[in-house]
């Protein structure tokens, strides 16, 4: 069954009513005057709500639906939609309103060949906002196909600040000094670290079922089905092993050996491909070693999950892993994480430093607690030795709740609770 104008018009009208009824939590994204935007990120991170936010802003400023067109390409009524049908969208709006619209196209990657239409819209000077869940939408090839016409923006699950604002917990200086209100912040932090910041999960009392359903959609839909994986069990085991390895560099070769011992032979190229597919779906984010050669930078990396809730599904009693993952996400949110990310690294040679950001000369260690003398010595030694190799204007040890400072001949090493650092970073 092909798409008809009648179906498209009905979908457009239904979308208008649905969007008008929504309560929008405004996120701090800059909808500047540039007319062409691509928002990318994992499922349910809030990309669609950024489109809704922009639409609500337009409506609040007196604009009407005759000036806007919203379409969600995950709507089952559009399952038969192909690249040849794109012009029907403009025809439908013209017939309904006889005006040139601003276009909001949600999850457009579901239509093969969408780039050509997006490029044509830009050439014809339409204002266009696009979302997609596939990280390949940020690849050099795709951006080259768009001819440099679009600005791309990564959309992450809520930061800790956004999380607190969403649940109406104040975190101003006065609140953080009062015992009761500070306790609310710390309680919210513990929930945030355990279950992440996917917007729709926050208000749920029992989050695991919802997070499991999102994970299954990413795992089965965005990875297995999209890439034609014949052995999904091996992929599931791979994701589990990567979750268990958060905090530690792991190589494709080692993953191949581990998985082969459990599920039969799984080659290094297969592991590499599966990791790449998980990155494409925005489930995993790669962190490279600033010390490594080019080949090692690609094959021996650390991997973090796009949301702590999705990581929690694959772990048991892993407090330090969850804290380090949330620190990684905050750094990626601040500095960006394109496939060729060269802003956030880890350092591993004779010492290991969890995070190093060259442009800010910032070094970070993450440890749930440094009460243990051996742990404290290990974390401090690495931060004492790194300034001899890379410049360090600021050095941090991020913990669950400890706070203080350590002096050495390079200056001060700050010890800061994770919740306090999260409020400061973004």
Mutual angle of helices 418-425 and 179-195, in 10-degree steps: 80
User: Percent of the chain beyond pLDDT 70?
Assistant: 98
Q: pLDDT (tens digit, 9 = 90+) per residue, 328-382?
A: 999 999 998 866 667 999 999 999 999 999 999 999 999 999 999 999 999 999 9
Tally of domains within the chain: 2
Q: Give the domain-ending residue among 143, 175, 195.
A: 195
Residue 184 within a domain: yes
Q: Rounded distance, CA 300 to CA 287, Å?
A: 9
Residue 31 falls within a domain, yes or no? yes
Question: Can you spell out the DSSP letters for 142-163?
Answer: HHHHTTT--EEEE--SPPHHHH
Do both 25 and 135 map to the same domain?
A: yes
Tokens of 183: 């306790």
Evaluate whether 400 touches 366 at the Cβ level (below 8 Å).
Answer: no
Q: Do 132 and 190 reside in the same domain of the chain?
A: no
166 with 92, same domain: the answer is: no
166 and 60 in a common domain: no
In a domain, 93, yes or no: yes
pLDDT of residue 143: 76
3-state helix, strand, coil in the chain (%, to 5): 50, 15, 30
* 79 lies in some domain: yes
d(CA 301, CA 291): 11
Q: What are phi and psi of 147, to 5 degrees?
A: 65, 25
Instruction: Measure the CA–CA gap between 157 and 163, rounded to whole angstroms.
Output: 9
Q: What is the pLDDT of residue 288?
A: 93
* 150 in the same domain as 11: yes
The pLDDT value given to residue 38: 92
Q: Do 102 and 79 share a structural domain?
A: yes
Residue 133's pLDDT is what? 83
Q: How confident is the model at residue 263 (pLDDT cuts 50, 70, 90)?
A: confident
pLDDT of residue 339: 62
Task: List the strands of the sheet with 36-40, edge to edge.
Answer: 68-72, 102-106, 128-132, 36-40, 151-154
Specify the pLDDT at position 134.
78
**Shared-domain flag, residues 144 and 174:** no
Nearest C-alpha neighbor of 2 from the set 78, 64, 80: 80
Kindly state the average pLDDT of the residues 211-232. 93
Residues 150 and 174 in one domain: no
Domain assignment present for residue 316? The answer is no
Alpha-carbon span 236 to 216, nearest angstrom: 10
Radius of gyration of the chain (CA): 23
Residue 237 lies in a domain: no
Q: Could you read off the pLDDT of 62-107 as tens digits, one per residue? A: 999 999 999 999 999 999 999 999 999 999 999 999 999 999 999 9
Domain boundary among 154, 171, 203: 154
Host domain of residue 144:
5-154
Model confidence pLDDT, tens digit, residues 100-137: 999 999 999 999 999 999 999 999 999 999 998 877 77
Structure confidence at residue 160 (pLDDT): 98
| pTM (predicted TM-score) | 0.93
Say yes or no: 100 and 139 in one domain.
Answer: yes
Residues 137 and 188 in one domain: no
Tokens encoding 286: 């790669």
Summarised one tens digit per residue, pLDDT across range 276-290 is 999 999 999 999 999
Contact in structure between 417 and 189 (CB atoms under 8 Å): no
Residue 140 has pLDDT above 70, yes or no: no
Q: Which residue has the tokens 């069954």?
A: 1
Res. 317: pLDDT tops 90? no
Q: What are phi and psi of 352, to 5 degrees?
A: -130, 130
Q: Identify any residues that bridge with 395 across adjacent strands, giving them in sequence order.
A: 363, 413
- For residue 1, is pLDDT > 60? no
Max CA distance (Å), the chain: 74
Kindly state whether residues 78 and 125 are assigned to the same domain. Answer: yes
At 373-413, the pLDDT tens digits run 999 999 999 999 999 999 999 999 999 999 999 999 999 99
Give the pair of three-digit tokens for residue 98.
Answer: 């006889």
- Residue 235 domain-assigned? no
Instruction: Establish if 120 belongs to a structural domain.
Output: yes
List the CATH number of the domain containing 35.
3.40.50.300
Domain match, 129 and 167 both:
no
């Amino acid at each position: 069954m092909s798409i008809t104008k009648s179906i498209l018009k009905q979908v457009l009208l239904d979308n208008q009513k649905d969007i008008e009824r929504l309560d929008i939590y405004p996120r701090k994204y800059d909808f500047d005057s540039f007319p062409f935007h691509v928002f990318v990120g994992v499922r349910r991170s809030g990309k669609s709500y950024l489109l809704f936010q922009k639409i609500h802003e337009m409506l609040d400023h007196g604009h009407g639906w005759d000036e806007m067109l919203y379409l969600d390409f995950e709507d089952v009524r559009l399952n038969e939609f192909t690249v040849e049908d794109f012009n029907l969208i403009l025809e439908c709006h013209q017939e309904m309103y006889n005006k040139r619209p601003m276009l909001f196209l949600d999850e457009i990657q579901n239509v093969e060949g969408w780039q050509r239409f997006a490029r044509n819209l830009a050439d014809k000077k339409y204002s266009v906002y696009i979302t997609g869940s596939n990280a390949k939408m940020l690849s050099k090839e795709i951006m080259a196909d768009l001819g440099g016409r679009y600005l791309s923006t990564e959309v992450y699950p809520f930061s800790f600040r956004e999380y607190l604002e969403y649940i109406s917990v104040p975190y101003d200086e006065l609140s953080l000094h009062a015992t009761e209100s500070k306790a609310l912040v710390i309680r919210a932090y513990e929930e945030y670290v355990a279950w992440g910041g996917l917007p729709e999960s926050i208000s749920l009392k029992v989050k695991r079922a919802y997070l499991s359903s999102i994970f299954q959609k990413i795992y089965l839909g965005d990875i297995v089905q999209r890439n034609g994986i014949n052995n999904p069990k091996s992929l599931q085991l791979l994701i589990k092993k990567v979750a268990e390895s958060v905090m530690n560099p792991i190589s494709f070769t080692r993953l191949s050996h581990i998985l082969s011992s459990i599920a039969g032979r799984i080659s290094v190229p297969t592991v590499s491909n599966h990791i790449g597919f998980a990155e494409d779906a925005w489930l995993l984010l790669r962190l490279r070693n600033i010390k490594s050669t080019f080949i090692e930078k690609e094959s021996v990396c650390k991997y973090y999950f796009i949301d702590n809730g999705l990581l929690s599904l694959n772990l048991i009693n892993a407090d330090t892993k969850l804290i380090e993952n949330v620190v990684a996400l905050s750094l990626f949110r601040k500095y960006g994480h394109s496939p060729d990310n060269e802003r956030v690294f880890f350092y591993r040679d004779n010492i290991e430093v969890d995070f190093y950001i060259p442009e800010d000369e910032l070094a970070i260690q993450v440890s749930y607690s440094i009460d243990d003398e051996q742990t404290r010595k290990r974390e401090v030694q690495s931060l004492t030795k790194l300034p001899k190799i890379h410049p360090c204007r600021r050095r941090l040890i991020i913990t669950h709740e400890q706070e203080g400072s350590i002096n050495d001949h390079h200056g001060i090493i700050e010890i800061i609770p994770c919740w306090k650092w999260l409020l400061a970073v973004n």
